[in-house]
């Protein structure tokens, strides 16, 4: 299982939110690049980079941060937040993203998302499945749909999607464990590479996600709050 640390960027700084609520933002570091370099030095190879300004503005904003990390580290970066148009996708890839994540677009403009999938391929386009009480949430998690998360993923799996980042919003940033039952259900029923996101609080959580069969696990607040030390991750990677 890939371990994928997260950097959420708001106002150019490295922050974390709880349940996606901007009012709960906590600034951890002034330089996302410095954090990315620490991840790289630890032996981590991947990075989940989220443009929170972009998610709120409905268009990509922090492409400069993406470019800096992509050019000054060897990390393979998946990028999300505010990707709503063809131009946003182009800007993300031109500035070093290896993959981009589309969530709101996939739910609200499926034709657009499927065009990206057709144009760039399943290795480049990640389906963002952000769920609140199993219902898909969009637009920076402000709006909630009536789409069931498992049905949403299954539909896109039939249409050729390979990678899925599934976030349980109620777990995100809460350090209270992950949605193992939901992930096990999705993996058991649908043939996708599932990346778990939200709630990782310990190395035990990572072990449990690995046993379920997750392709990757995103770790954010647990690192910043010292619940998981980079040295522990380094040992797990060896």
Positions annotated as catalytic residues are: 8, 130
Q: How far apart are CA 159 and CA 154, in angstroms?
A: 9
Beta-strand ranges (E) seen in the chain are: 2-10, 13-18, 21-29, 46-51, 76-80, 99-102, 125-132, 135-138, 143-148, 163-168, 193-197, 216-219
CA-nearest of 124, 198, 200 to 161 is 124
């Amino acid at each position: 299982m890939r371990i994928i640390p997260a950097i959420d960027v708001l106002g150019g700084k490295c922050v974390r939110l709880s349940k996606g609520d901007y009012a709960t933002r906590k600034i951890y570091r002034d330089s996302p690049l410095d954090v990315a370099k620490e991840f790289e030095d630890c032996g981590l190879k991947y990075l989940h980079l989220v443009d929170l300004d972009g998610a709120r503005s409905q268009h990509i904003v922090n492409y400069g941060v993406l470019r800096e990390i992509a050019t000054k580290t060897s990390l393979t970066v998946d990028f999300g937040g505010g990707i709503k148009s063809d131009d946003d996708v182009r800007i993300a890839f031109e500035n070093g993203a290896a993959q981009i994540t589309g969530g709101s677009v996939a739910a609200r403009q499926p034709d657009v998302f499927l065009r990206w999938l057709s144009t760039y391929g399943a290795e480049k386009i990640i389906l963002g499945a952000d769920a609140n009480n199993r219902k898909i949430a969009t637009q920076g998690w402000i709006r909630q749909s009536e789409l069931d998360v498992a049905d949403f993923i299954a539909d896109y799996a039939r249409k050729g999607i390979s990678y899925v980042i599934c976030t349980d919003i109620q777990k995100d940033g809460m350090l209270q464990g992950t949605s193992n039952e939901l992930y096990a259900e999705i993996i058991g029923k649908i043939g996708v590479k599932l990346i778990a996101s939200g709630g990782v609080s310990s190395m035990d959580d990572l072990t449990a996600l690995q046993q379920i069969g997750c392709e990757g696990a995103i770790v954010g607040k647990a690192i910043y709050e010292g619940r998981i030390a980079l040295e522990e991750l380094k040992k797990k990677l060896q």
